[in-house]
Structure 1
Amino acid sequence: MKKLISLIAFLYCFHAAAQEDAWVFLKDKPNAATFLASPLTMLSQRALDRRTRQNIALDNKDVPMETTYYSQIKSATGITVLAKSKWLNAIHVQGTPINIKNLKTTYNTFVEKIEFADKTLNAKGRVHQSSTTPKRKNKFEKTSTTFNYGNATNQITMLKGDFLHQQGYTGTGMYIAVIDGGFLNVNTLAAFKRLRDNNQILGGYNFADRNTNFYTRDNHGTNVLSTIAGYIDGQFIGTSPDAKFYLFISEISETETVLEETLWVEAAEKADSLGVDVINTSLGYTTFDNANYNYTYADMDGKTTFISRGAEIGVSRGMILVNAAGNDGRIDNPWKYIGAPADVAGVFTVGAVNATGTIADFSSYGPTSDGRVKPDVLAQGQNVYVINHTTGDPVTSNGTSFSSPIMAGVVACFWQAFPNLTNTQIMQRIRESADRYNSPTAQYGYGIPNFENTYNTVLSVDGQEFLNATTVYPNPVTNRLTIKTSLQNLENTKIQIYNVIGKKVFQKNSLTTKTIDVSALSSGIYILKITNGNQQNTIKLIKK
């Protein structure tokens, strides 16, 4: 009996001493008014411009975390601070359950609540249901890679991405962030030379190691980036070759921990602050090295996991978050569902098909646990071309890890064509163009989009509405003419003025301001043509 009591006491002490992960949620941001009054202390001008275009107001989620709160938690006894999120106003800590729970008592004035990754330690904990929890798996699982020196034509033409390229929309002016596990050799491979020579890599950060070396760790991000931005003349081209990129490492490839969720949220926050338009994430979370942290299908509701809550806020900031559905769809897999943050309503979740448009057997299933359609759309992810991180040659590989960035690149090109549309409008137009939009299924979602069709639809509907709402003043004009339009990004807008006999007397190919100087024109009647892509509006102009 004495031995049994001793064993129980030992086990209790062991459990009490075990290091656990938890998030400490803070109550407020006492200096919020000061930051909101000076937006450039929180966000870049480009980020603010993106908000303005989409009529998104700044709020407390944009405000940095209170530094005094953070410092006190960091200096608490037995607590290790690993990461933080301003969006969720939460600090990721490790410590014993006792020390972590003491934070709520000690700092009750500013600690709102504590959430343990092991939900059985929470006040309203639950027991994990192994029957609905996936087995631990390789996070970058994919089938064998074989060398094949073809080109990437099919993965672009399937989506009609080549049509957008032909219209001149190749990602110019768009910022894409890739959040992944590493970008080995992107700084040296010839397939990324065009990207480097044109200064299209704007920067990045290694959140896993807390340093600026993002050309390290895993090659998964290298393969992912190649499908968007790789270029080998005559052999390979990515879906958005002229976009600019930020490269972020949030994944610790040798482990699977909930810390990676928080690091991802940090990376997404950084992307937002830099004015990124599109984020690609070829990652997903369901299981961890510590099985007590595993999620169940019930958790795939877009609101439960830390990363999904962060992603939901990211969408609300006006970015498009493109995410891989996952590779668990095989029929013999008891867990065949999408992971987090692919379960978020506003995240653009991408499944995989083969070259003929048939679903890849590994592509994960929806719906979400609360019954929403997922994935949103599909792109080629089986026998897809990527750049090998060692040789720099095109090879074939498999996974929604690649259907996602292929889609992200085309999405960026499409948004370049219609910068006046919001992120939610862009995603909905793409869904509506997919081949199963009227009859979505659990694994196909809404199906394969057709970007040529949706481009033409937007031109005829949204584009015409824009042009009808575009005018100039004053008219008659003396010296300076102002263009009145809802369009904020004027880089793709061209102005041409013709006299009454059809001779072009003025042209400006890219507007940097809505005001133009026409003082050099003689008095008379002119025809002014405003062009944005294939959209045109013609206005009679009288010069005094």
Structure 2
Amino acid sequence: MKSIYLLLFVFSSVFVSAQVEDAWVYFKDKPNATTYLETPLLMLTQRALDRRSNQNIALDTKDIPIAMEYVDQIKAAAGITYKAKSKWLNAIHVQGTSSDITLLLDFAFVDKIDFADRSLNSTGKKAKNYKTSTINKKLETKVDYGYGTSQNQIHMLNGDVLHQQNYTGSGKIIAVLDAGFPGVNTVQPFARLRDNNQILGGYNYVLRDANFYTGDSHGTSVLSTMGGYTENALVGTAPDATYYLFVTEDNSQESPVEESYWAEAAETADSLGVDIITTSLGYSNKHTNPAYDYTYADMNGTTTFISRAAEIAFSRGMLVVASAGNEGNEVEPHISAPADAVSVLTVGAVNASKTRAYFSSIGPSYDQRIKPDVMAQGLGTVLSDEFGAIVTASGTSFSCPIIAGMLACLWQANPTKSNQEMRQLLLQSADKYSNPTTQYGYGIPDFSLALANGQLAVVNYSKKDLMLYPNPTSDAISIVFPQESLSGMLTIYTILGQKIFEKEVVSNTVISLKAVTSGMYLYQLKGATFTATGKIIKQ
């Protein structure tokens, strides 16, 4: 089932009647497929179609809306309560007694039924999840944000290097799938988002209405790590991105229907042209009804409804970023769903000193793939609560959106890259890429390296290399040393040997070349143990 990944665990006391079951009813076909494929704007916005076109992703039957005539017949069936639908999986989520649900097989258009309690399925596979909750533009000039205490969680990823070049998520859309967003419409840390119309909308799938500024404040805190802005206190990783806010978590119970709400929200995000989905929800064990629990064996990327939906979301050209989970110190410490999906970027948590947080769920997936994928600060993360107070909290709930926001910045800098290329850029920049582990995955990303890789089109690189990028450049260059402790004297000469610039620099220094005329220049970078020379082309 689902869990909001905060550090403090609170278990629901709501009980589900043994007579009422959850199930997914799968349909055999989509009778109106031809009409939709011939008129794609009936099902996807132009921005969504452009994203597909830019990544050479063809439309297919998964994009076709579910047949509502089938849905209506199921709704009218005796004893059946309709809860959600998924066009990607061509299925609807229903509740009712096992006998009433089984009778739905009499409909000619019904392909199969999967009960959440898998002991009721004909194949008889047994069917685990925590609910947790808090208690407690091109470079004109170097941009220096007043990060305040949020500095560390961004600098750890060298995300400030991207911000300094005005890669702040502008032009990218992030969908946040969470438990609720109270306070986002009123408190100060979100004023910048509101004033700039960066909240594009949203929906509450639990209540089936447009009021997404309600529910648990977990989503508020998650959003603040990306879009929050309070000068000298909190700067999110993607302050200039735009956002859709979707409520998919029902705090009143732990129910499989939340997986279906999630899938429905992800499909909406796809249709609206969203670039990145970030979700700090997870499904494993401790459902309200224990019969619905998953086991580690189910964390294979293909068993759970939500993981299958997340994989389809990636196939549509979006990036999907998910929390690894907070069960790292539990008897069963492994990741949950959808963090187990193959293409999902699964994020674990470290402390301010880059050491794995004790609660961060570990890998691998049950089928032995590397999980988590990457790590970011999730212990003592600086964020906003629903009242606008800048506080700290812990959980992979927060390391996840920190990465999602930085990915928006990186994608802004590399607008022609596909989601697959962006995923690889991120992994290759991480500090354990050559030697991943079950605790850290590929490690902590270095977004300055990822930026260099993307702009220089280098396939392989490492922290052993000195980098000066972008080159050619129109405004500025950044310098990355093989080790952060290194420094050196940078001198730039004209092609005739005239010195025009000299300065002591450290790693991630951004040098403005705006005042330099176009042409070719020579540089020398000299440190205590190395000397590097080369050419710079100013466009």
Q: TM-score, normalised by structure 1?
A: 0.79
2:173 is aligned, of 169, 172, 175, to 175
SS in 2 for 1:428: helix
User: Contact between 1:314 and 1:321, CA under 8 Å: does it hold in 2?
Assistant: yes
Aligned to 1:221: 219
Contact in 1 for aligned 2:130/2:283 (Cα 8 Å):
no
CA drift at 1:204: 0.2
Q: Residues of 2 paired with 1:281 and 1:40: CA distance?
A: 27
Following superposition, the deviation at residue 393 of structure 1 comes to 1.9
8 Å Cα contact 1:120-1:127 kept in structure 2: yes
Q: State the match for 2:423 in structure 1.
A: 427
* Aligned pairs for 1:43-442 within 5 A: 43-105=44-106, 107=107, 109-127=108-126, 137-140=130-133, 145=136, 151-287=149-285, 288-330=287-329, 333-390=330-387, 392-442=388-438
For 1:536 and 1:338, how far apart are their aligned partners in 2? Answer: 47
1:170 is paired with a residue whose SS is coil
Counterpart residue identity of residue 275, structure 2: D
Correspondences of 1:471-482 after superposition (within 5 Å):
none
Please report how far the alpha carbon of residue 78 of structure 1 lies from its aligned counterpart in structure 2 after TM superposition.
Answer: 1.1
Query: Deviation of residue 388 (structure 1)?
Result: 1.9
Report the AA paired with residue 169 of structure 1: Y
Offset at residue 34 of structure 1 (A)? 0.3
**Structure 1 segments of 4 or more deviating over 2 A?**
136-140, 535-538
Q: What does residue 36 of structure 1 align with? A: 37
- SS state at 1:151 partner: helix
What is the aligned partner in structure 2 of residue 461 from structure 1?
Answer: 457
User: CA separation in 2, counterparts of 1:159 and 1:361?
Assistant: 20
Which residue is 1:486 aligned to? none
Hey, what's the Cα distance between the residues in 2 that align with 1:272 and 1:536? 40
Shift of 1:460: 1.7
Deviation (angstroms), 1:138: 3.0
1:431 CA displacement? 0.4
- Structure 1: runs of 5+ lacking an equivalent: 1-14, 469-526, 529-534, 539-544
- Conserved 8 A contact 2:24-2:93: yes
For residues 401 and 222 of structure 1, what CA distance do their matches in structure 2 show? 11
Counterpart amino acid of residue 406 in structure 1: I
Q: Which amino acid aligns with 1:422?
A: S
Counterpart of 2:34, as a letter, is A
Identity over aligned pairs, percent: 55
Please give the alpha-carbon distance, in whole angstroms, between the structure 2 residues aligned to 1:85 and 1:138: 24
Number of positions where the alignment pairs a residue of Structure 1 with one of Structure 2: 442
The gaps in structure 2 that reach 5 residues or longer are: 1-15, 137-146, 460-469, 472-517, 520-535
More helix by share: 1
Larger Rg: 1
**Matching residue's letter, 1:435:** D
CA offsets 1:107-148 (integer angstroms, 9 cap, x no match): 0x21110000000000011345xxxx5xx64334x6x64xxx
Measured on the aligned residues, the alpha-carbon RMSD in Å equals 2.2
The question of whether the paired residues in 2 share the 8 Å contact of 1:151 and 1:394 is answered with no
Q: CA deviation at 1:67?
A: 1.3
Aligned equivalents of 1:368 and 1:137: distance in 2?
18
CA distance in 2, matches of 1:536, 1:411: 28
Instruction: Please give the alpha-carbon distance, in whole angstroms, between the structure 2 residues aligned to 1:28 and 1:350.
Output: 36
Deviations 1:297-331 (A, max 9, x none): 0100010000011111000000000000000001x
For residue 18 of structure 1, report the CA deviation from its aligned partner. 0.8
The normalised TM-score by structure 2 is 0.79
Secondary structure at the aligned position of 1:315 is classed as helix
Amino acid at match of 2:123: K
- 1:231, 1:137 → 2: CA distance? 30
Question: What code does the residue aligned with 1:364 have?
Answer: S
